[in-house]
Amino acid sequence: MKEPLLKKTFHTMTEAFQNCWKRFPITVCFVFVLAAYLAYLVATDMEGDRKQLMVLGYYFSIGMLLSLTLHLWSEEIKSKLKSTIVHVVMHVLLIADAVYLYSLSPEQSLTEIGIAHGAGILALWLSVFFLSFTKEKNDIPSWNFTSYTIGTFVTANVVGLIMSGGISLLVFSLQKLFNVDVSWRCYLYILIICSVLLPMLLFLGMLPKDEQKHDREPQSSDFLKGTIHFLFLPLIAGYLLVLYIYAARILISWELPIGWVSWLVVALMAGCIATEFGLYPARIQETKRANEWIARWLPALVLPLLVLMTVGIMRRFNDYGITINRLYIITLNIWFYIVCFGLVFTKARRISWIPISFSIIFLLTSALPVNYASITRNTIRNDVKEELKRSCDMELPLTREQYNQWIETLPEGTAAQVNDKFMYLRNWFGRKSIADLVDRDVSFYSARHHYETDNDDIAVDAEPVSTPTISYRAQAASQVDIKIPNGYNRFIAIPDPKESDWSCTIPRKYLETGILPVSLGTRTGHMNDSVYIDLKTLETLRQYKYGEMPPTTFQCNSNKNLFMLTRFSLNYPKVGQEELKLGINGYLFKK
């Protein structure tokens, strides 16, 4: 492993291809199938069942990773029967998972499922580096294997990119020099072969095995040691100094820490863990007192600052309630305590348990039937159901008019919290999570006309303020018939299909005229196309239920144009001088 990596790559290229077939047969099959699948997508322009295409891509990609970690683990197992059974069971479970993903309803929220799969993929990825070394006396073999594997992966991909670029340039030269017609698909095929198939085969073929895989000699790097001592440690010292000064200040003034402290502590702990991993080979090889002191007592210096993070998080829970983010951040905080205490009491003799414990905790809190996403959903649902039971005597689910009437009967602070919780449930868990409570056409943005929140993406965090807000929102059905107006023979979709809507700000002075001028970003002749939207018409359209707004036409600045509105949202403070925010969708018809 002391031989330069790039030189070793070119010298062993032929051997690498042979080794990967013998050593990782199932993984190689997945690599070829994935490359063929990508080529198929290029050839068919991704036509077909999109969900099926995505699930197949997921299965081939994860199957490749799963088979790799199982092959590496099998090399440590003497029983071939046990190895075969584990391979079969794990791949059957992966197939079942793919079938499950394909069976999901389009209306079902992917929040809980997505987080669980993210935790599982992280565990698979980490198992490649650590699963084969559980019987080792220290973490040097896994550290060497990890550093070499990452270096090999980067090198293989660089080689693939060079080959891809070189062959693409050669093909492009044929087109330029000899007028050979080359399809754009040809370049994508080259990219698939040279940047997917070739790098993966090179990577698999160059992975260390046998004694090289279990290299127990510390591979200390002067560059890494210099980076740790002269860059990371001074930076960590700066974080420690700032946070300790801040802790002293809030203790003197007897204040609670602000939320920003949590991010500083997270960054500090990331630097601490990186330092532990970076110094590990040098500590085992040289046993210098300074390195030993840093490895053991740096976590001890961080420990008191974790209390700041804990207090800040608990303050957020107390003020705004439960969310998925807060449950994970408090768990991360608890894991930080475990890491610091573990490093102090074990004198940092082993470090592989740090990422392994993170993966296990992430799996336990995400992949079990009762997980943080389900806990958050059920808790917030129970909160809004209790409020409905307490203060609403109308039959559920509430219509749009009933919901607005009910919200108006609540105190402003309570109305803000309830509405924001409904928005959180819809944004994170989909309409299905509140279908038994409110109708589909209920607009939570429209219901916010008595208050404004700080952040729509994490609405439960929002704090009510005194500025009332006007909000209009409506939309036509997704499959409504659009009749082409007489005399018009072409049209442009506004906005481009790749964008969600055409957004703009409008000076507040146009509220007095009742006509909102909106530039559409297109040109007819020598003029910018603009549409003039009647505010009273928008007020009328907002009364329609979700998906029932009729497509409505508005005049443009040119008599050759006509704009048909299919969706809009308008928001502005009821008082003040702030501009109006308008988003629209529709079609610009032209003569």
Residues 378 and 356 in one domain: no
Residues 238 and 357 in one domain: yes
**Lookup: tokens for 275:** 């330092």
What pLDDT sits at residue 532?
92
**Lookup: tokens for 584:** 């629209």
Domain presence at residue 8: no
Residues 378 and 366 in one domain: no
Domain presence at residue 350: yes
Nearest to 191 by CA among 6, 58, 46, 39: 39
**Lookup: tokens for 334:** 């608890």
Q: How far apart are CA 485 and CA 208, in angstroms?
A: 69
Identify whether the C-beta of residue 358 lies closer than 8 Å to the C-beta of residue 335.
Answer: yes
Q: How far apart are CA 255 and CA 247, in angstroms?
A: 10
Domain ranges, residue 516: 472-590
Q: How far apart are CA 219 and CA 558, in angstroms?
A: 73
Q: How far apart are CA 144 and CA 139, in angstroms?
A: 9
Residues 312 and 405 in one domain: no
Which pTM was predicted? Answer: 0.77
Cα torsion 454, 459, 460, 466 to 10°: value is 40
Name, in order, each residue with C-beta under 8 angstroms of 57's C-beta and a sequence gap of 6 or more: 37
Q: How far apart are CA 315 and CA 250, in angstroms?
A: 14
Identify whether the C-beta of residue 207 lies closer than 8 Å to the C-beta of residue 150.
Answer: no
Q: Which residue, of 424, 454, 484, is where some domain finishes?
A: 454
Residues 127 and 247 in one domain: no
Residues 508 and 392 in one domain: no
Nearest to 394 by CA among 385, 403, 381: 403
Residues 39 and 178 in one domain: yes
What pLDDT sits at residue 500?
61
What pLDDT sits at residue 522?
79
Domain presence at residue 204: yes
Distance of alpha carbon 85 from the chain centroid:
34
Domain presence at residue 519: yes
Other CB atoms within 10 A of residue 387 CB: 17
Strand ranges, E, within 97-191: none
Distance of alpha carbon 99 from the chain centroid:
23
Q: Which residue, of 425, 454, 483, is where some domain finishes?
A: 454
| CA distances, 288 to each of 292, 294, 444 (Å) | 6, 10, 62
Q: How far apart are CA 427 and CA 145, in angstroms?
A: 42
The residue type found at 389 is: K
What pLDDT sits at residue 456?
38
Alpha helices in 287-371 (DSSP H): 289-320, 324-345, 353-366
Nearest to 566 by CA among 488, 495, 476, 481: 476
Domain presence at residue 202: yes
Tens of pLDDT along the chain (591 residues)?
445 555 555 555 666 677 788 899 999 999 999 999 999 999 998 887 888 999 999 999 999 999 999 999 999 988 889 999 999 999 999 999 999 999 987 667 789 999 999 999 999 999 999 999 988 889 999 999 999 999 999 999 999 999 999 999 999 998 889 888 888 999 999 999 999 999 999 899 889 888 889 988 988 778 888 889 899 999 999 999 999 999 999 999 988 888 889 999 999 999 999 999 999 998 888 878 888 899 989 999 999 999 999 998 998 888 888 999 999 999 999 999 999 999 999 988 999 999 999 999 999 999 988 999 999 999 999 999 999 999 988 888 888 888 888 988 888 888 888 988 998 998 899 888 898 999 877 877 666 554 444 333 334 444 444 456 777 788 888 778 888 888 888 888 888 766 666 788 889 888 888 899 988 877 776 677 889 999 999 988 887 876 788 999 998 888 888 999 998 988 888 777 888 888 898 999 988
Domain presence at residue 2: no
Identify whether the C-beta of residue 338 lies closer than 8 Å to the C-beta of residue 357.
Answer: yes
Residues 182 and 42 in one domain: yes
What pLDDT sits at residue 96?
96
Other CB atoms within 10 A of residue 21 CB: 13
Domain presence at residue 488: yes
Q: How far apart are CA 440 and CA 63, in angstroms?
A: 39
Domain presence at residue 5: no
Residues 442 and 302 in one domain: no
Residues 123 and 37 in one domain: yes
Nearest to 216 by CA among 148, 129, 295, 143: 143
Q: Which residue, of 161, 192, 213, is where some domain finishes?
A: 213
Total domains in the fold of the chain: 4
| CA distances, 146 to each of 131, 141, 208, 274 (Å) | 11, 8, 10, 14
Nearest to 554 by CA among 525, 514, 523, 526: 514
Q: How far apart are CA 456 and CA 424, in angstroms?
A: 8
Residues 43 and 179 in one domain: yes
Residues 415 and 528 in one domain: no
